[in-house]
Amino acid sequence: MANEEHLNILRQGVTSWNVRREANPEFVPELSGVDLHGRTLIGANLSWADLSGADLREADLKRTCLHRARLNVAHLQGADLERADLQYAVLTGAHLTRTRLSRADLFRAHFMGADLSAELGKKTWGQS
């Protein structure tokens, strides 16, 4: 369950959130199960955050730091993770259909059981 204080800080905007993270390096965000559907979080520092089960469908997460974040069974369908830092992130069982991952840093990211499929009727990787 998400920490309501953490969610309220995030709702104030990315700048407020990042200032809080910078001032409190020990701060570990607890945002499991939050509804951030369609939100713009460009450049947010969500490193080490617990976003398990979060609804991030259609969210704009460009250049977001998700380093070592837990995104187990998170809903990321249609999200834009261009240039996001997903190093060491755990996305076990995450839903990533139509998720944009261009130039994202996926070094040692864990995708076991994640759904990376394309929409039905669309071309998939390797299909001619």
Rounded distance between C-alpha atoms, residue 54 and residue 75, angstroms: 6
* Angle CA 107–79–98, to nearest 5: 90
Residue-level pLDDT at 119: 57
List, for residues 64-122, the tens digit of each pLDDT value: 999 999 999 999 999 999 999 999 999 999 999 999 999 999 999 999 999 988 655 45
Q: Which fold has domain 1-117?
A: Pectate Lyase C-like (2.160.20)
Q: How far is CA 22 from CA 27, 84, 106, in A?
A: 9, 18, 23
Q: Domain residues of the chain, as ranges?
A: 1-117
